[in-house]
Structures are given as structure tokens and as C-alpha cells.
Amino acid sequence: PTTPPTTPPPSSGFVVSEAQFNQMFPNRNPFYTYKGLTDALKSYPGFANTGSDTVKKQEAAAFLANVSHETGGLVHIVEQNTANYPHYCDPGQPYGCPAGQAAYYGRGPIQLSWNFNYKAAGDALGIDLLNNPWRVEQDPAVAMQTGLWYWNTQNGPGTMTAHNAMVNGAGFGQTIWAINGSLECNGGNPAQVQSRVTKYQQFTQILGVPAGANLSC
């Protein structure tokens, strides 16, 4: 009779193990799962999978550090300031705000907000997030997919995607530009920048790689 295999099943192939993920996010909301993250990776196979082993780990650390900052350590699923909720509808878009004026508040690991971002992310991922933005706060894999969509494809207020910043050696500071631009960089909010940098340094340490140059913005 065949005995059940004692070897663990193959890992996700992600450079961050589940144990390291749990170490990074000791107080995380149960909504944010390691499986939700690894399932979402299928949408962006180049993420944390480009360049040397060091670069792969630096990119993973950079993404997770920014995510940690945005969500209070993967605790918050939705934006905490409900007074902001009605502000994220750009009525100038031809498709308007079908889910409602106040439906496009920050959700998920990168706090996706604005009707046009929900539309673009949904189009890219093949999910109708314009009409059903709530999926981002209900489905852990969709939540992570929106974070990876922004990271891999959007320059935001910066000059390059966060993915390209890490892969091409521009440095962690450029990922902050891509996410929040002058709201934080160029003296906009040095404490917020430092919070992101400190988290990135912690996470690269957990993964055993140097943080690299150009950490700040």
C-alpha cells in the first residue's frame, strides 16, 4: 500500500513564505489571507518574479511595506474616514458612478479609490468593479488583485510604476511617488514617507536582502 507523502505540497512559488507573511502581519485581519495573495499573483506573473532573487524579494518587500502602511498592518479593509466616501466620484467620466456617489471609497491592500480606478482595475482584471465595487472588500483574492493591478500597471502621480521602480533599480522612494506623489514626497509628509521606509527595511530584513539605495522621496 502506498503511504501518504510526507513532503509538503509545492509552495506557491512566491518569494515570501506563509510563515514570513505572518511574521510581517502579526495582527492582520483574517480577511487578508496568504492564499488570497498567492491566488492574486496569477494575474501578474512578473510581480516579485523578475530579475535576481534579491530583486524579487525587494519588490515583494516593497509592495507589502506600502500595503502595510495603507492598511495599518493589513488590519483595515476599507477607508476609515467615512466623511471622505462621497468625494471619490468623478462625475466627468462618461460612465458616471453607477454604484452610487459614495461607493468608490478606499478598499483593499492599496486602498483603491475613485470611480475611474475601479473601472480601470475591473477592466484589467475582467471583473465589473464599476457596478460592484464591494467585491474588493468581500473577496480576498480580488482585494489583492486590485493592489497588484495598481502596483504593476499604474504610474499614479509618479513617473513609473512601482513594479518598474523596483525592477529597474530606481529604488523604494519611487514606489511612494507612484502611490501618493507630492502628498508625501518632496516634503509633503516626511513622517508618512519614513513610516513606509521603516516598514520596507523591516520586511527586507525578514526576507534576508538589503534594502538598496534611494529609499526616500
Which residue in 162, 155, 192 sits closest to 61, CA to CA?
Answer: 162
Active site residue 70: yes
**DSSP label at residue 158:** S
Of 70, 79, 137, 184, the active-site residue reads 70
* Spatial contact of 112 and 103, defined as CB atoms under 8 Å apart: no
Question: How far apart are alpha carbons 99 and 6 in whole angstroms?
Answer: 49
Question: How far apart are alpha carbons 201 and 174 in whole angstroms?
Answer: 15
114 contacts: CB under 8 Å, gap ≥ 6? 88, 89, 90, 104
Residues with a known catalytic role: 70
